Structure 1
């Protein structure tokens, strides 16, 4: 029975990786780093399925893109994206999903904690992504912050709140339907 539940959660993780790929195509273009639905998907994933399976979903998402499937923003793909200027954001999704899920698993899966966890996860993604953006694009810290952080703060908080609220509601429904372990 345990292996059956594990398989079910692995399939759910794969579905969330697919959802992230779809959400990556919803974007508002900006000069260096576009605003996309990816971070919303990361928060939603972790809020619904927790730390380990949320991180697994983001590892799968990043791996699919790295091997050439066009799952990143603007249907881009390849290892060159991962090591490029915006690749730090993609890698940060793994850590962010784990942190969001970890906070919720150690506290409670409720709206307040989900909002706090998602904001922390969003901040982690911005920090890690901006570090890679700075070094790969050879920017000053100021230029990296202007390109990789400031345009995303307000939108990031909005996406964090939405992914928290929708995630908690979805989690409750999936648990009551016995679709989550």
Structure 2
């Protein structure tokens, strides 16, 4: 495969997973400050399938599309005000979480148990970014920020981490067989 084909594949992968994230963002359970949405499931799937760089790049694309005003964030919202608002930290956290989740898998193995560990770490990263911004934007105490920005998401986050691991590894294995993703040598054995 030539260099131009590789670049095109990266662009397409990022566009596909930015779109998947936008779609899953609309699957939400409303809560008082921050809704539970399918965005973090998409982040985990993207990182598990694409790895650190492409997974993070897909989330950068997602954030950029939303920042210019397209309604891709939860509740069909968009615009820079979302990124600087109470939920913006979670969106920035998606980028870091995708990178870290993918990096853990690249440094270990692309297996469901390792993907689960990596996705749980990614969940913690997302919750950290989100809670810090929530605290400062709404001028909350740390305890109030944790109550609003972390505790409601733990159980659902663990379920999404498992689903992202299972879906991501299953799809990745098929893409490896079809030679459609960059792979480590051990994965093709």
TM-score range, shorter chain: over 0.9
For the residue of structure 2 that corresponds to 1:17, the secondary structure is: helix
Determine the C-alpha separation between the residues in 2 that align with 1:67 and 1:177: 35
- Offset from partner CA, 1:43-89 (integer Å, 9 cap, x none): 00000000000000000000000000000000000000000011000
Look up the match of 2:89: 88
The reply to whether residue 23 of structure 1 matches residue 24 of structure 2 is yes
Give 1:9 deviation, angstroms: 2.0
For the residue of structure 1 that corresponds to 2:51, the secondary structure is: helix
Determine the C-alpha separation between the residues in 2 that align with 1:25 and 1:97: 19
Determine the C-alpha separation between the residues in 1 that align with 2:5 and 2:164: 28
Look up the match of 1:172: 173
Contact (CA 8 Å) 1:40, 1:159: kept in 2 or not? yes
Give 1:6 deviation, angstroms: 2.4
Tell me the matched-pair count: 181
Give 1:13 deviation, angstroms: 1.2
The reply to whether residue 129 of structure 1 matches residue 130 of structure 2 is yes
| Equivalent residue runs for 1:91-130 within 5 Å | 91-130=92-131
Query: What TM-score does the superposition give when structure 1 sets the normalisation length?
Result: 0.98
Look up the match of 2:148: 147
Determine the C-alpha separation between the residues in 2 that align with 1:2 and 1:49: 18
Moved over 2 A (4+): none
- Offset from partner CA, 1:101-122 (integer Å, 9 cap, x none): 0000111111111000000000
The reply to whether residue 5 of structure 1 matches residue 6 of structure 2 is yes
Determine the C-alpha separation between the residues in 2 that align with 1:30 and 1:165: 27
- Offset from partner CA, 1:148-170 (integer Å, 9 cap, x none): 00000011011001101110000
Give 1:3 deviation, angstroms: 2.7
Determine the C-alpha separation between the residues in 2 that align with 1:162 and 1:73: 20
Structure 1, unaligned stretches of length 5 or more?
Answer: none
Contact (CA 8 Å) 1:46, 1:101: kept in 2 or not? yes
Cα-Cα RMSD:
0.7
Determine the C-alpha separation between the residues in 2 that align with 1:178 and 1:52: 18
For the residue of structure 2 that corresponds to 1:158, the secondary structure is: helix
For the residue of structure 2 that corresponds to 1:69, the secondary structure is: coil
Look up the match of 1:73: 74
